[in-house]
Structure 1
Amino acid sequence: MPLVGVTANRLIDDGDQREWVRRRYIDALEAYAKVEIVVLPTRSIEDKNGIWRLVSRLDGLVLTGDESNIDPEYFVRSNTPRPAPTEGAYRRAERDPFRDMMVSFVLPAALQKGLPILGICRGLQELNVFFGGELYENISADRNMLCHKEDLSLPRDRQYDPVHEVSVQSGGMLARILGSSGPILVNSLHSQGIRWLASGLNCEAVAPDGLIEAASVSNAGTFQVGVQWHPEWHIADDAVSKMLFAAFGKACSDFESKRLIADRAE
């Protein structure tokens, strides 16, 4: 069975540091992508060699969402040294430099290895920043944009209900996965979003206000897609989410088959 790395986030509470990932990602991946899971811990120091060894054992990568936003100071495309993140730089539900540092190493390694990649919410934004794109720091500050944040007056589960359409772009990877282009309904729980799409990405879906809600890596040769919404949350009742996870799982299975053949040939 394919082995997929799932990015964790740092949680600092009462001075105690934890690695955490929402169970819904794991449940969706196991049930609908049919893959095994390994949680990728955040990083406090640079360890590119360790990341490369880990990525070489994977058949796919999931860049999960989180309440925190990307800090450009830690997420840069070049291989120049970064300042080690400190506990003081972490702000719960705002900044997670430990996650930023980990993804800034694991993402280029995964891309170079040609792994299937699924980015969700923050994960789409990480793809865009890595390839040189720009983000809105706060979408709601623009009066011409939709409200993309969750309604906090609702119960948590209802905050993940569909709230607006996105138009799937004809001829793209997402349209091929879904079997058609056109509008689909998605949830929306984010304050950041793509302001300028990176040149290394293709637009896959757009919200009514023009915000890019899904993108794929250009000329990837495999499933390397990010979506701004959360398909993992109500996947049991959503055909689009099931197809998205199934397509990712199929790409991971294909990658595993090729990797095992290559390993036996060595």
Structure 2
Amino acid sequence: MPHFVIAYAKEKRIPPYLEALAACGVPAEDVFLATPARTAGVDLAEVVGHADGLMLTGGSDLQPCLYREARLPGVELDMPVAERDQMEWDLLDLARAARVPVFGICRGFQMVNVFLGGRLYQDLELQRGQTGHDCFSDHGFALDHFAHAVAATEATHPFAESFRRVGPLRVNSRHHQGIRELAPGLVACAQAPDGVLEAAATTDDGWWVRAVQWHPENLIALPEQRALFADFVAAAEAHRREREGAARPVEVSG
């Protein structure tokens, strides 16, 4: 069974991610839970070296300095946490070097994009006049509230093809920021009706990365949402086999 790292911030938010992996056959004991406090003094290189999948979850806004900006006047940022930003940056750096598969969710999508050189809208409503994406629970919305649809882009990438096969998906939505400039090396795979980018993947066949802007962990009862985690687990399993094969000594006959 492959081993996973989940980066997150709040304990109360972790169960749905664990349940989503469990639905795909991954027991909780095969998951390392990474927060700044938990990883203080921990060798992240060793953690990632034993991992076969890295999941970046939802949470607070990224620091604008990570994508070469200052906070815009009038923008209310949701409590950026520099320590979490740095931890996830380091995890991504190590994952890229080791070719560990990555699945980014909501903030995780934004972190992947920024790490690879992309930029964000600090506030979709302020900068684009778009609403309907910020259906937060403290606004009275259920975690599985269907906010809008997403549909495949015209990309030929397998991730885009997967959305095309199932048709438009109804998704939940809990973000006020979004992708402004997609990073080099990523391809847009799905978008909302208003054009907000909702899913992307790496173009590098050697590094499996998928990311979505919604929260499929709260929609795990739906087969098309559960499939996102199943594909991640399958990529991790392939990485595990490759990693263990590389570590196996070569037998020399004679």
Partner of 2:5: 5
CA distance 1:243–1:45, change in 2 (3 Å): closer
Alignment check: 8 A CA contact 2:63 2:80 kept:
yes
Amino acid at match of 1:42: P
Give the alignment's Cα RMSD to 1 decimal.
2.8
Matched positions, count: 240
Partner of 1:138: 123
- Paired with 1:92 and 1:52, the residues of 2 have a C-alpha distance of 31
- Paired with 1:257 and 1:151, the residues of 2 have a C-alpha distance of 39
Which deviates further from its counterpart, 181-190 or 202-211? 181-190
Please list every run of at least 4 consecutive aligned residues from structure 1 whose deviation after the TM superposition is greater than 3 angstroms.
43-47, 151-156, 175-179, 220-223
CA distance 1:180–1:93, change in 2 (3 Å): same
- Paired with 1:172 and 1:262, the residues of 2 have a C-alpha distance of 28
Amino acid at match of 2:36: T
- Paired with 2:83 and 2:138, the residues of 1 have a C-alpha distance of 30
Among 22, 28, 31, which residue is 2:23 paired with?
31
CA distance 1:32–1:24, change in 2 (3 Å): same
Alignment check: 8 A CA contact 2:118 2:182 kept:
yes
- Paired with 1:155 and 1:245, the residues of 2 have a C-alpha distance of 27
Instruction: Say which SS state the counterpart of residue 201 (structure 2) adopts.
Output: strand
Deviation of the 1:182 alpha carbon: 3.9
CA distance 1:69–1:154, change in 2 (3 Å): closer
Deviation of the 1:221 alpha carbon: 3.3
CA distance 1:178–1:203, change in 2 (3 Å): closer
- Paired with 1:41 and 1:154, the residues of 2 have a C-alpha distance of 26
CA distance 1:6–1:44, change in 2 (3 Å): closer
CA distance 1:152–1:183, change in 2 (3 Å): same
- Paired with 1:145 and 1:93, the residues of 2 have a C-alpha distance of 18
Partner of 1:14: none
Deviation of the 1:152 alpha carbon: 4.8
What 5-or-longer segments of structure 2 have no aligned partner? 69-75
Partner of 1:160: 144
Deviation of the 1:233 alpha carbon: 0.6
C-alpha distance after superposition, 1:131-187 (max 9, x if no partner): 11110111122454232101557655x243211111112422323445716421111
Are residue 184 (structure 1) and residue 169 (structure 2) matched?
A: yes
- Paired with 1:4 and 1:179, the residues of 2 have a C-alpha distance of 28
What 5-or-longer segments of structure 1 have no aligned partner? 12-18, 78-90
CA distance 1:46–1:195, change in 2 (3 Å): farther
Amino acid at match of 2:53: G
Deviation of the 1:234 alpha carbon: 2.1
Alignment check: 8 A CA contact 1:168 1:181 kept:
no
Alignment check: 8 A CA contact 1:205 1:213 kept:
yes
Are residue 260 (structure 1) and residue 244 (structure 2) matched?
A: yes
C-alpha distance after superposition, 1:55-104 (max 9, x if no partner): 101000000111x100134x479xxxxxxxxxxxxx99421111101011
Alignment check: 8 A CA contact 2:198 2:212 kept:
yes
Q: Percent identity?
A: 33
Partner of 1:54: 47
The structure carrying a bigger helix percent of its residues is 2
Deviation of the 1:219 alpha carbon: 1.3
Instruction: Say which SS state the counterpart of residue 248 (structure 2) adopts.
Output: helix
- Paired with 1:154 and 1:144, the residues of 2 have a C-alpha distance of 19
Amino acid at match of 2:8: A
Using the size of structure 2 for normalisation, the TM-score is 0.84
Alignment check: 8 A CA contact 2:52 2:240 kept:
yes
Among 76, 82, 100, which residue is 1:115 paired with?
100
The structure carrying a bigger strand percent of its residues is 1
Partner of 1:251: 235
Instruction: Say which SS state the counterpart of residue 183 (structure 2) adopts.
Output: coil
Instruction: Say which SS state the counterpart of residue 188 (structure 2) adopts.
Output: strand
C-alpha distance after superposition, 1:237-261 (max 9, x if no partner): x121111111111111111111111
